[in-house]
Amino acid sequence: MAERTVEMASTHGLHARPATIFTQAVAKAGVPVQISKAGGKPVNAASILGVISLGIEKGDSLTLVSEADSADTVLDELVALLSSNLDAE
């Protein structure tokens, strides 16, 4: 199992537009990924409703987990995405 922790960098957190960018990247990766806020329940990272329901704000600590064979590469790419300001995209 691969796991990464990242701090949300987007100015306004993971609201609708940045969440869409993120969930589309997860879906495109083709591997199951779970995302959670520190101490929270994990949700399917490819689910826009699940991700938005977490109420992720700038500075929140997030954990990404996957058991897929190519998980390390995928999680590294997703961490890079969350570490950028998706509001500027």
Residue 15 annotated as catalytic: yes
What is the pTM for the complete model shown? 0.93
CB atoms within 10 A of CB 54: 20
pLDDT at site 64: 98
Q: What is the pLDDT along the chain (89 residues), one digit of tens a residue?
A: 999 999 999 999 999 999 999 999 999 999 999 999 998 999 999 999 999 999 999 999 999 999 998 899 999 999 999 999 888 76
pLDDT at site 65: 98
CB atoms within 10 A of CB 15: 16
Residue from 9, 12, 15, 21 carrying the catalytic annotation? 15
Residues 6 or more apart whose CB falls under 8 angstroms from that of 22 comprise 14, 45, 51, 78, 81, 82, 86
pLDDT at site 87: 81
Chain length of the chain: 89
Alpha helices, DSSP H, located in 10-88: 16-29, 48-53, 71-82
